[in-house]
Amino acid sequence: MVTVTSISALQSAVVRAERQVQQGETRVNQDAARLDQSQNQLSKDKELLAQSQRESTTAARPALQPAPAVNLNRAIENPSRAEQSLPAALAALRPQVNAQGQTIGKFINVSA
């Protein structure tokens, strides 16, 4: 025969089981949310790692060869006579004389 005590014990057991199921579902939902966050963070970390590796590879490349050093001592020395001569096209030009026999340079005002 079923007693009131056994029925109430069964009801409380059912209520306890339902509460445990709800708590389990809550934990599962929380764990799923944390898993999503972890996967997103992992994706970001992978991208950051790939970017760091690219930058490291770029930094590890050898630098461009520097331009050869210019010898400034030679730059202030007097060049040889052959280096001082004008090109043939400019050397052939003679001063031009106007109709009165004056060179163009005499018209420049040098007193100013």
- Span 77-103, mean pLDDT? 68
What ranges do the domains of the chain cover? 1-58
Predicted confidence band at 72 (pLDDT cuts at 50, 70, 90)?
confident
Per DSSP, the residues of the chain read ---HHHHHHHHHHHHHHHHHHHHHHHHHHHHHHHHHHHHHHHHHHHHHHHHHHHHHHHHHSPPPPPPPPP-HHHHTSPPPHHHHSPPHHHHT----B-TTS-BGGGGS----
Query: Which pLDDT belongs to residue 22?
Result: 96
**Highest mean pLDDT (candidates 51-55, 59-63, 77-81):** 51-55
